[in-house]
Amino acid sequence: ETFFLEKNSQACPWQVNVYAIDVAKSNPNILYCISETEGLFKTVDKGKNWTQIGIQHINASEAIAIHPKNPDTVYLGTNGIIRRSTDGGNTWTSVFALNGLWVYDLDIPESSAHIILAATNKGLYRSANSGQSWTQVFAEASSELKVLNVKNNIVIATRYNSLTKQYYPVKSINFGMTFSDKKSGWYTSGDGGVRMAITTADPKRIYAIALTSDKGPYLMRSIDEGET
């Protein structure tokens, strides 16, 4: 692990896990990432050079989302808090706090950038006013969410079933206001988390990988916007 004691300290020459990374849609030169050792980093040249920023306000995180129209506005889910920066990650303010909250993923629809979606261990949360207030859409844990590239009204997320001890896919067609189950073709056993990915090459395609304890990880694909 790499440990940073202060902003300009020398890094130990070992490895560090990157927990979250995002690319600015409005300016792909800009990326933000955060490591397990609580370092928040930013690049403005597509990753050639990185600067550590905002360390005094940041804890470890798995979730970071850049505003699709303004790369200086960033949302970050840390332990118990969702924070927002409007100055490129240098300073942060809390926009949502809940005891015991862990944020697994954040996403913002490009066509409706006032909407913020958060997949957490305490359910899926939604803000319709840029983080001023939040609504719990469902209470079960959600490990992942993705807003589709072309149809931003479509959101694919996961929802935990405590009886089967697995995450299964749910889909929204109204910017995350409500979700319905989409289990057709989904794996039937497993007790681990799920991660998803979308591609600009095919707006209807979604990939998902799920951890299990019996047969190893399942890699699945949908070619119909998460219906099957």
What confidence tens digit (pLDDT) does each residue in 76-110 have? Answer: 998 899 999 999 998 889 999 999 999 999 999 99
Q: How far apart are CA 131 and CA 82, in angstroms?
A: 9
What residues form DSSP beta bridges with 181? 170
More confident residue, 6 or 147: 147
Residue 215, pLDDT score: 73
More confident residue, 55 or 28: 28
Q: Taking 50 as the threshold, does the pLDDT of residue 1 lie above it?
A: no
Q: Taking 60 as the threshold, does the pLDDT of residue 57 lie above it?
A: no
pTM: 0.90
What residues form DSSP beta bridges with 78? 81
Cβ proximity of 125 and 115 under 8 Å = no
**pLDDT class of 11 with cuts at 50, 70, 90:** low
Residue 207 CB neighbours (<10 A)? 14
> What average pLDDT is seen over the chain?
89
Of 54-58, 110-114, 119-123, where does mean pLDDT reach its minimum?
54-58
What residues form DSSP beta bridges with 157? 145, 170
Q: For residue 46, what are its two tokens?
A: 């597509």
